[in-house]
């Protein structure tokens, strides 16, 4: 998983995760929640795979 990067720089020290769908009140079937969880897991996996020591997650 490279998030569209041809090469991942080796000197990344942190990732800031700001993306999420915020219309949870409209989430009748849980698909929005599932998308947010899977997206966050993808970022965690990316950080682990590329030895990125810090992940900053922001949520409203």
Q: What is the pLDDT of residues 11-42, one digit of tens each?
A: 999 999 999 888 878 889 999 899 999 999 99
- The answer to the question of residue 41 being in a domain is yes
Which residues, including other chains, have CB under 8 Å from residue 53's CB and lie 6 or more apart?
A: 13, 14
- The answer to the question of residue 2 being in a domain is no
- The answer to the question of residue 40 being in a domain is yes
Which residues, including other chains, have CB under 8 Å from residue 13's CB and lie 6 or more apart?
A: 52, 53, 54
- The answer to the question of residue 42 being in a domain is yes
The answer for 15, left when phi > 0, alpha when psi is -120 to 50, beta otherwise, is beta
Count of structural domains, the chain: 1
What's the domain range around 52?
Answer: 15-21+29-57
- The answer to the question of residue 38 being in a domain is yes
Q: How far is CA 34 from the centre of its chain?
A: 13
- The answer to the question of residue 49 being in a domain is yes
Predicted TM-score (pTM) of this structure: 0.82
């Amino acid at each position: 998983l490279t998030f569209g990067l041809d090469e991942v720089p080796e000197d990344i020290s942190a990732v800031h995760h700001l993306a999420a769908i915020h219309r949870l009140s409209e989430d009748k079937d849980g698909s929005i929640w599932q998308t947010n969880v899977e997206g966050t897991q993808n970022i965690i996996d990316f950080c682990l795979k590329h030895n990125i020591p810090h992940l900053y997650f922001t949520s409203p």
